[in-house]
Amino acid sequence: MREVRIKDTLSGELRTLPRGEPVGIYACGPTVYSRIHIGNARPFVIFMLLTRFLESEGYEATLVINVTDINDKIYEAAKDASEPSEEFAKRMTSSYRQDTDALGLGRPDAEPLASESIEGIVRLISELIDSGHAYESGGDVYFRVSSFEDYGKLSNRRTEDMDQGEEAGSASLKESPLDFALWKAHKEGEDTSWGSPWGPGRPGWHIECSAMAEENLGQSFAIHGGGSDLVFPHHENEIAQSQAAGHPFARIWMHNGMVETAAEKMSKSEGNIFQLSEAVDRYGREAVVAYLISGHYRQPLAFGPGQMEQAAAGVERLRNFFRLQFLGGWEGEPNPSVVERRETFLNALADDFNTPRAMAEVFELVAEANREDVLGAPEAVKEMLKLLGLESLADPEQGGDTEAEALLAEREEARAGKDFARADEIRDRLAAMGWEVRDSSEGAKLVPKA
């Protein structure tokens, strides 16, 4: 059992997760105004796998990823789709679930919707008004930034460089341009609203997350995560709201870097693969997961067909490894190299969730075991892949080079029917495709040609 350390954006330091303490994790989920793209899938994958790793290390971890289903962008997109915004948000939420289900990593422990969390949101806003940290103005409610001394501590920005990015129309209602909306009065053209002490309206985006995090994990919890584009203003404002209300809130702030596309370099058809469902269809779920963990989570990650093909090739190498190896029991101790690599792999994950370092260890062990028999290697590789959501690669029947598999089956049939000329012909064709057919007592199998 290891002590897991995570880099905290707020202090800039590596922070240890104390053993024996529950680890509540809240990660900001998508705003459901369109199908999600690869960039939205990165925090989903990182936080699902981090939770899986923490549990395997004996931590009691709980992951909450919200869905923002009330938002300006949703009103606009629903109008474009000529659909009521509530229906539209429901449809996009179920698409989001379907698209992330296809990653095969399971679901977070809780997935609260903003539209179902209004009670807690209104309660938190009322607390802030009562304590002088917020004020009502024209049916809106704003957070009084000057009342929170530590404002800006997460993003380290000077107040003159801060822009809340709110619509110009609200400027006259604010005491200061730095203040941000907690509640917005109902406007003409918006087809949903909720009742509140300040009249009908809807919550602001930032207060939704403060309320949903606290409702699911309590007023103090271990990790708040999300993309680095959310540091300001979203997370800065979450801290201000919750701590002004006297709640300790998150102890560690964990941010993933952005997925960066060279969109102008991609043709239109290539550009489609930026949509998660398209990428999964084209490259398979394992390649998409392998791609998303191929860089350290804090770094930006370049995206394009080249990167996806590289991830797919790596995944295929792992599949081939299991085509060659038989999983099963063995007698005695595993090879010392297996023990050492497994340890390095786990330590890399414990050290600020360094997935590329961990993945390198998997590939090293595979290369070693491809050169010579390494006792215990296939089992260890399978176990390591499981922590990365890639255990299905140990079952070569799933996915892979289906054309070659079909040919192999055809060759078996030809041999059974004593049509050896046809069987040889197929063997030659497989050879041209880079496969060697190896007959064994367990039947024929495909082995990549050296």
List residues near Zn ion by CB under 5 A. Answer: 28, 209
Pairing of strands 249-256, 220-227: parallel
Q: Name which of 229 and 343 has its Cβ closer to Zn ion.
A: 229
Q: Name which of 153 and 386 has its Cβ closer to Zn ion.
A: 153
3-state SS, residue 50: helix
Q: Name which of 112 and 376 has its Cβ closer to Zn ion.
A: 112
Q: Name which of 28 and 78 has its Cβ closer to Zn ion.
A: 28
3-state SS, residue 275: strand
* Residue 1 DSSP one-character state: -
The rounded distance, in Å, linking the Cα atoms of 4 and 258 is 23
The rounded distance, in Å, linking the Cα atoms of 338 and 361 is 10
Pairing of strands 61-65, 23-27: parallel
The rounded distance, in Å, linking the Cα atoms of 435 and 447 is 6
- Least distance in angstroms from the C-beta of 27 to Zn ion: 8
Q: Name which of 120 and 389 has its Cβ closer to Zn ion.
A: 120
Question: Residues 436, 382, 36, 271: is their CA dihedral positive or negative?
Answer: negative
- Least distance in angstroms from the C-beta of 255 to Zn ion: 12
Pairing of strands 140-143, 180-185: antiparallel
Q: Name which of 108 and 376 has its Cβ closer to Zn ion.
A: 108
Give the closest residue to 26 by CA, choosing from 219, 298, 213, 214.
Answer: 213
> Is residue 81 within 8 Å of residue 34, measured between CB atoms?
no
> Is residue 214 within 8 Å of residue 245, measured between CB atoms?
no
Q: Name which of 213 and 366 has its Cβ closer to Zn ion.
A: 213
Burial of 363 (0-12, 13-18, 19+ CB in 10 A): middle
- Least distance in angstroms from the C-beta of 28 to Zn ion: 3
- Least distance in angstroms from the C-beta of 26 to Zn ion: 8
- Least distance in angstroms from the C-beta of 176 to Zn ion: 23
Instruction: For 96-159, give the DSSP string.
Output: HHHHHHTTTS---SB--BGGG-HHHHHHHHHHHHHTTSEEEETTEEEE-GGG-TTTTTTTT--G
3-state SS, residue 327: coil
Q: Name which of 100 and 325 has its Cβ closer to Zn ion.
A: 100
- Least distance in angstroms from the C-beta of 70 to Zn ion: 12
- Least distance in angstroms from the C-beta of 206 to Zn ion: 7
What is the amino acid identity at position 437?
Answer: V
Q: Name which of 164 and 320 has its Cβ closer to Zn ion.
A: 164
- Least distance in angstroms from the C-beta of 423 to Zn ion: 60
Q: What is the 3-state secondary structure (H, E, C) of 203-265?
A: ECHHHHHHHHHHHHHCCEEEEEEEEHHHHHHHHHHHHHHHHHCCCCEEEEEEEECCEEECHHH
Q: Name which of 133 and 206 has its Cβ closer to Zn ion.
A: 206
- Least distance in angstroms from the C-beta of 143 to Zn ion: 15
- Least distance in angstroms from the C-beta of 249 to Zn ion: 12
Q: Name which of 43 and 304 has its Cβ closer to Zn ion.
A: 43
Alpha-carbon separation of residue 442 from 52, 98, 321, 325, 433 (angstroms): 34, 38, 17, 12, 23
